Amino acid sequence: MRQLRILFSLGIVWALIGQAAGAAAGLFLVRAIRAAANLPPSAEAELVIAAMFSVFGSLLFSGVLTDWLKWCVGIETPLRHGDPDGLPAWTRYFSVDYNHKVIGIQYGVTSIIVLLVGGILAIIFRLELSWPGEQFLTPESYNTIFSAHGIIMIASILLGVGAMVNYLVPMMIGASDMAFPRLNAFSYWIAIPSAILIMAGMVIGDGWETGWVGYPPLSTIDGSPLGTQLFILGFYFNGFSSIAGAINLLVTVMIMRAKGMSLWRMPIFVWAAIATSLIQFTATQTVGAAQLMVTTQRVLKLGFFDPTFSNGLGWPAGDPILYQHLFWFYSHPVVYVFVLPGLGIISELLPVYSRKPLFGYKWVALSSLGIALVGFLVWAHHMFTSGMADVLRIPFMLATLLVAIPTGVKFFSWVGTIWGGKVTFETPMLFVLGAISVFLIGGLTGPILGTIPTDLHLHDSYWVVGHFHATMFGGFVFPFFAAIYYWYPKITGHMYNERLGKIHFWLMTPGFWLMSLGQMQVGIWGMRRRIYDYDPALGIEFTHALITLSALIIGWSVLIMIYNLITSSRTERVAAINPWGSRSPEWQVPSPLPEFNYYRPFEVVGEPYDYGVPGSVYVRDVPAAGD
Amino acid sequence: MSAAATHHDQAHDHADEHGHAHVPTYLETLRANRLGLWLFCISEVFLFVALIVVRFALWGNTRPELDQALGLATTSVLLISSYFMVRAEVAIAHGDRDKFLNSLLVTFVLGVLFLVGVVGFEWGLFGITFGDHELLKPTDGAFGAVFFGMTGIHALHVVSGLFLILMVYINGRRGGYSTERHWGVEACAIYWHYVDVVWVFFYPILYLIGTPVH
Ligand code: HEM
Ligand SMILES: [Cu+2]
């Protein structure tokens, strides 16, 4: 009985019920209306309305809208905080909670679960690719699985970015929470139904075959699978999460910093979070518009991207290339959303383990903004082969190559920080160094793609696959894991198992090098992207088998991390307050932090990264009134 | 942003076993809310600009034949509604509740009239034509797509604005706002003006620029 009561107190359970109920309501509504209006049933319309209702149902039932709905009718509600009444403390992690640390953990755990789902899909189609010919996947199911892999991994990355930003930023700037705690919860709880829509797209209505980019005409022609529509709507609704989260973060940083924390004295990760949010709250709108246009074209036959229209009067038709512009105007900048927080983590951790000041703090801070800004000017480098206007090519090539400057600033800063430092190699530091090595591979292969003559050959080849996996592993996955290990004692009060951490690292890093370089090699030798088969005459069978092998190794190593994280939380509590000797405020107080982060407010009185500078202080408690 | 901006007001802080919670004052909350809303407005600029870019990419220097009188009428109605919104906000700031409520009501009615003009007549829901040209259909290639897309997205914003106005009106009747504390009214007004300004760009872009193609 009690178990049942607890189960039905969980927001996540209600979110799922709400999603199902919303979907059913939407479905029947459309059927009823169409039947009443004597229209033939339309699966497409039913699906769209059901999906929209399902997201709303999920939000409504989970309870994340409750306070706002009360406000609408003039009822004031205090902000709920602390452990839930009469329920075990752990239940708050499965329900709507307004504490930024709880929400950060929710994001993080969801991110890892989604990462595993995406990883399993990758392993499935890697097995298919281990040998030439058709093994156990049909071409259609191969298409669905690689498409789902792509977008699910992106969802995972966005959730992981949400985890780091939510958990770390308020803590680092000395705020007791985000500026809008309810909006913060909303950002998380709308990501759940969105992810479910995307995953549902794999099984409902024949999956989809457009890849994560969803280009028309493939995504809009008659007979394109219904799953496409679910993927597009899931993508669309996830945008709400990005926009709301980013606005929240920007306001938080603008007005809630501790006394004395001027912009140049913020932890460097906060700069990365700002740059990320600037991209998220603007660019997301254009891809949202593009997804809405695709939806209206599919359901209502609006011809945005349909070039075939003609009524003999000279009226203009649509244009599929337009979609690509709208899509990449978001999707290039969003790759910096993926990597900027991770690069911030690298800059944050290196000084701690090198016992030296961060080299060129201001330049690193500005380079994040620089990357974000230049990132808006390069989108068409994804379209060199797609038939866009020729005049656009050279400017976009030049702008693309410009990105190397701020990125280079970061690399030099990292090298300068390690140089001559007293470096130690705990697991987080290993992952930081791994991240740098992997991101270097990604960074060096990018300009080759950004240069038109070489891109004409490499576009849509496995070289591109190698390139972006290196950037995303180096810019997100490795730093994310570093962050997890690094803040694990802060979050749980326990120390992770160092041995397992090192095993994880030494499996994953060489595994990744092998995978990435292998992908680039088969790419140069003629392997195309997004296809289930290849010609054995290309001579790439052996490398393909190696790639699959390394994918398996990476997969196992991640499972070791998860095992480590779970079992370590059952060990004895660590005594050390500050195991890494960090100067950051959160490490000056015992772990885990209390509900509102600090028992006493602190003030900033020095530079954040003056490691090894005698007598330097970063933060100290604000003297209480009357002291 | 100076250190003073993040000044802690000791009277409004409390510390207990949960740690030190900074309970924001009304003014601090107001500041956060304002920033948040303006950031949201900036964010939406990207949506509307994307639509405008689509218009120019697809229509170029042409446009469909639309009813000029109707376009002018709806635009005027919306602009006038903004005036009454300002009037409402000034009224509540001066504590004149009746004027506040009446002005809100006028704004609401004008907003509904705008919708009737665009969605009702221009979209042809009522099946009434004014001039001698046919009504544009959503499936009429890029003309239909862009026109219905832009007016549709804008209409969605108008509808949500009307919903806000209604909410503020109901709360206002219950005495939910005072001379000093009426963030709800302010937010609603900013949003309404914003939606209005967007139309100020959409109207010429849809109705005036380019040569009509018959
Ligand atoms: C040094 C900076 C970089 C340059 C010059 C660069 C350049 C390029 C170019 C030109 C392409 C298109 C290749 C083609 O399709 O023919 C591409 C693809 C891609 N890049 Fe980068 N890139 C850089 C950094 C990054 C970063 C930091 C990420 C972050 C995650 C990233 C993620 C991707 C992805 C996901 C794709 C594939 C998109 C797709 O078609 O599905 N890149 N890159
Ligand atoms: Cu790009």
* For chain B, domain boundaries: 32-213
Please name the amino acid found at residue B44: E
Of the partner residues B1, B28, B42, the one whose CB lies closest to the CB of residue A263: B1
With cut-offs at 50, 70 and 90, classify the pLDDT of residue A462: very high
Beta bridge partner(s), residue A259: A603
Query: What are the b/e assignments for A310-346, b being 16+ CB within 10 Å?
Result: eeeeebbbbbbbbbbbbbbbbbbbbbbbbbbbbbbbb
pLDDT in tens, A89-131: 899 999 999 999 999 999 999 999 999 999 999 999 999 999 9
% of chain A residues with pLDDT over 90:
87
With cut-offs at 50, 70 and 90, classify the pLDDT of residue A267: very high
Average pLDDT of span A537-545: 95
Whether the CB of A330 is below 8 Å from some CB of chain B: the reply is no
Looking at residue B132, what is its pLDDT?
Answer: 66
pLDDT over threshold 70, residue A14 = yes
- A595 with B18: Cβ contact below 8 A: yes
Say what the pTM is. Answer: 0.94
- B142 with A254: Cβ contact below 8 A: no
pLDDT in tens, A366-392: 999 999 999 999 999 999 999 888 899
State chain A's mean pLDDT as an integer: 94
Residues of B in contact with A220 (CB under 8 A): none
A208-222, A433-447, B83-97: least confidently modelled range: A208-222
CATH 1.20.210.10 positions along chain A are: 97-307+317-621
Q: Which of residues 151-210 of A touch B (CB under 8 A)?
A: 175-176, 179-180, 183
Looking at residue A591, what is its pLDDT?
Answer: 87
CB B207 within 8 A of CB B68: yes
Looking at residue B2, what is its pLDDT?
Answer: 34
Grouping H, G, I as helix, E, B as strand and the rest as coil, residue B21 is strand
- Ligand nearest, relative to CA of residue A339: 1
pLDDT in tens, A276-294: 999 999 999 999 999 999 9
DSSP type of residue B211: E
pLDDT over threshold 60, residue A339 = yes
Domain A97-307+317-621: which CATH class? mainly alpha
Chain B interface, best mutation among A304, A306, A591, A599, by max B CB count within 10 A: A304
Q: Which of residues 494-523 of A touch B (CB under 8 A)?
A: none
Looking at residue A513, what is its pLDDT?
Answer: 97
DSSP type of residue A623: P
pLDDT in tens, A315-325: 999 999 999 99
pLDDT over threshold 60, residue B3 = no
- B6 with A261: Cβ contact below 8 A: yes
Ligand 1, atom nearest to A450 Cα: 10
CB A168 within 8 A of CB A226: no
Task: Looking at the complex, report in whole angstroms how far the Cα of residue A395 sits from the nearest Cα belonging to chain B.
Answer: 19
CB B52 within 8 A of CB B200: no
For B43, which residue in chain A has the nearest alpha carbon? A282
What's the CATH fold of domain B32-213? Four Helix Bundle (Hemerythrin (Met), subunit A) (1.20.120)
Looking at residue A46, what is its pLDDT?
Answer: 94
pLDDT over threshold 50, residue B7 = no
Average pLDDT of span A22-41: 94
Looking at residue A1, what is its pLDDT?
Answer: 78
pLDDT over threshold 90, residue A622 = no
Average pLDDT of span A522-526: 95
pLDDT in tens, B106-164: 999 999 999 999 999 999 887 777 666 778 899 999 999 999 999 999 999 999 999 99
Average pLDDT of span A232-258: 97
Chain B interface, best mutation among A183, A596, A603, A604, by max B CB count within 10 A: A596
For A600, which residue in chain B has the nearest alpha carbon? B20
CB A496 within 8 A of CB A488: yes
pLDDT over threshold 60, residue A335 = yes
Nearest Cα to A328, choosing from A378, A381, A379?
A379
> CA A281, A282, A287, A291 torsion: positive or negative?
positive
> Token pair of B109, please?
């009615």
With cut-offs at 50, 70 and 90, classify the pLDDT of residue A577: confident
Residue A440: is it exposed, middle or buried by C-beta count within 10 angstroms (0-12/13-18/19+)?
middle
pLDDT over threshold 60, residue A342 = yes
Of the partner residues B19, B31, B144, the one whose CB lies closest to the CB of residue A303: B144
* For ligand 1, atom 24: residue with the closest CA: A446
pLDDT over threshold 80, residue B214 = no
pLDDT over threshold 90, residue A79 = no
Looking at residue A206, what is its pLDDT?
Answer: 81
Average pLDDT of span A30-45: 92
Chain A interface, best mutation among B18, B29, B173, by max A CB count within 10 A: B18
Please name the amino acid found at residue A463: W
